[in-house]
Amino acid sequence: MQQRHATAAVIGAGDFVGGAIAKKFAAAGFNVFAGRRNGDKLAPLAAEIEGAGGRVVARALDARKEDEIAAFVRDADRRAPLEVCIFNVGANVNFPIFDTTERVFRKVWEMACNGGFLVGREAARYMVPRGRGCIAGVDTAWVRDRIREHEGDEAIKNLDPGRLMGPDAVAESYWQLYKQARDAWTFEQEIRPFGEKW
């Protein structure tokens, strides 16, 4: 296995999908930072990765806690540059909507939504400066003003035509989604400008 000088952080490295993701990136030579709420349950995953010649740091992590997320992502990047950050926490509940209390909803929101925000924000601190930003821009006057503020007038004059998404192109993507064949249905679509750097 060729070792990479790169880290993949997996938040929610559970017994199924999260564990499989951690093993996949470890097999590709990444340092893997694996976290889940019950850190003791990571021992078999860590042993399997290390037994196959991979590198892994496994530790307890509650994705609802800002300080834990910040420390986890920071330490992952210190190991080797953070190239991949996967948020895979389990926030499933088995309640019909009428039986879902505010308390249950809030817990799911804390894990899935707020936790996802915390992880994305912390990962961006390390990944965006290296050209791996994940925020696509639509070509509007407001966006062009932000580019001018941060990069100067020359950046606007020499703007790569693939850097921003034109509003008409975005509308066309929505139209194609609406008109898609029902026997090959797209559940979710994400559009990005061609020139976006990852």
Domain extents in the chain:
7-130, 136-198
Of the candidates 190, 198, 158, the one whose C-alpha atom is nearest the C-alpha of residue 173 is: 190
Determine phi and psi for 111, rounding to 5 degrees: -75, -55
Residues 6+ apart with CB under 8 A from 116: 87, 89
Determine the pLDDT at residue 175. 84
Residue spans of the chain under pLDDT 70: 129-136, 197-198
Dist. CA 54–CA 19, nearest whole Å: 13
Which residue stretches of the chain are H helix? 17-27, 43-51, 66-79, 102-108, 115-127, 141-151, 153-157, 167-178
Determine the pLDDT at residue 186. 86
Per residue in 19-47, is it b (16+ CB within 10 Å) or e — as a string?
A: bebbbebbebbbbbbbbbbeeeebeebbe
CATH topology of domain 7-130: Rossmann fold (3.40.50)
Determine the pLDDT at residue 66. 98
Determine the pLDDT at residue 146. 86
Determine the pLDDT at residue 136. 54
Determine the pLDDT at residue 129. 62
Determine the pLDDT at residue 92. 79
Determine the pLDDT at residue 132. 46
Determine the pLDDT at residue 13. 97
